[in-house]
């Protein structure tokens, strides 16, 4: 059974999340072994929240669950790439489709992403 | 001047690298502030090698330099997304186009990526 190298990153591996249809990179999160096993078992992206220090079923509050379509692992076994179907269209808690909604241009940030929802309406 | 939050990750931020044409995720690497500034200055992706503990101009040995086309920063300022033109077609030191050349299927790894070069010929 393949398993990412969790020991290398102090129990966590970074997980890149990509939209299976548009190929847009939606976010980066982290998994520990428990999150990895839960993701494999349920088919729904489950991460380890470093800020809350707890297992995090993505979309638990917002309903914006990520259905895992494909899982890739990198050459060093220390990074995961998930190809997902993003329910509710948006991955970012700010309401944008992707967490990478800002482009760096001439040393400044310019918003280029697509806003899908109002966080105040979703996280009540 | 926008700057990623390097303090959060002990001086390093993860950097997702995506091919600007195919949208394929090529690799994940890390930058410290020096690597970030060098990347902005030169327009060539420069990382911090955690294994060598030194600045790493990607493609220095192989010639497979990454020309930075766009830089995005995430909602928490702690992850970078680079959109690049990958010279030599391949990003991975194993010769594959992407470091994520293996898919996890039924608990096993299946090679699905495209091999571009023979590492023995490139790293002599």
Quick one: pLDDT at residue A75? 96
Q: Which residue of A has its CA nearest to B95?
A: A75
Quick one: pLDDT at residue B98? 97
pLDDT along chain A (124 residues), means of 10: 90 98 98 97 97 95 95 97 96 95 93 92 79
Computed over every residue of chain B, the mean pLDDT equals: 95
pLDDT in tens, B34-87: 999 999 999 999 999 999 999 999 999 889 999 999 999 999 999 999 999 999
Interface test mutation site (partner A, options B94, B100, B102, B110, max chain A beta carbons within 10 A): B100
Q: Answer yes or no: is pLDDT of B107 > 90.
A: no
Pairing assessment for the beta strands B54-57 and A108-111 based on DSSP bridges: unpaired
Q: Which residue of B has its CA nearest to A107?
A: B1
**How far, rounded to the nearest angstrom, does the alpha carbon of residue A53 sit from its chain's CA centroid?**
16
Q: Answer yes or no: is pLDDT of B1 > 80.
A: no
Percent residues over pLDDT 90 in chain B: 85
**Predicted complex: ipTM over 0.90:** yes
Query: Residue B94 burial by CB count (10 A; 0-12/13-18/19+): exposed, middle or buried?
Result: middle
Distance of residue A81 Cα from the nearest chain B Cα, in angstroms: 7
Query: Is the distance from CB of A98 to CB of A108 less than 8 angstroms?
Result: no
Quick one: pLDDT at residue B104? 96
Nearest to A25 among B18, B73, B108 (CB): B18
Pairing assessment for the beta strands A13-19 and A25-31 based on DSSP bridges: antiparallel
Which strands, in side-by-side order, build the sheet including A108-111? Answer: A108-111, A102-105, B66-73, B80-86, B13-19, B25-31
Consecutive H or E run containing B35: helix B33-42
Q: With contacts defined as CB-CB under 8 Å, which chain B residues touch A112?
A: 72
Quick one: pLDDT at residue A66? 98
What are the strands, taking DSSP E only, across B1-124?
A: 13-19, 25-31, 46-49, 54-57, 66-73, 80-86, 102-105, 108-111
Query: For residue B103, what pLDDT band results from cuts at 50, 70 and 90?
Result: very high
How many angstroms separate the CA atoms of A92 and B79, rounded? 13
User: Regarding predicted confidence, which is higher, B6 or B106?
Assistant: B6
Query: Is the distance from CB of A73 to CB of A80 less than 8 angstroms?
Result: yes
Q: Answer yes or no: is pLDDT of B109 > 90.
A: yes
Q: Answer yes or no: is pLDDT of B121 > 90.
A: no
């Amino acid at each position: 059974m393949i398993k990412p190298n969790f020991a290398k990153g102090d129990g966590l591996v970074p997980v890149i999340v990509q939209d299976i249809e548009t190929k847009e990179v939606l976010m980066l999160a982290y998994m520990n072994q428990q999150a990895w096993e839960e993701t494999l078992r349920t088919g729904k992206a489950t991460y380890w929240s470093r800020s809350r220090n707890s297992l995090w079923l993505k979309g638990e509050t917002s309903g914006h669950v990520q259905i895992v379509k494909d899982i890739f692992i990198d050459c060093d076994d220390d990074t995961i790439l998930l190809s997902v179907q993003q329910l509710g269209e948006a991955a970012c808690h700010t309401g944008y489709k992707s967490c990478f909604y800002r482009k760096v241009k001439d040393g400044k940030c310019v918003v280029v992403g697509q806003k899908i929802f109002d966080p105040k309406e979703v996280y009540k």
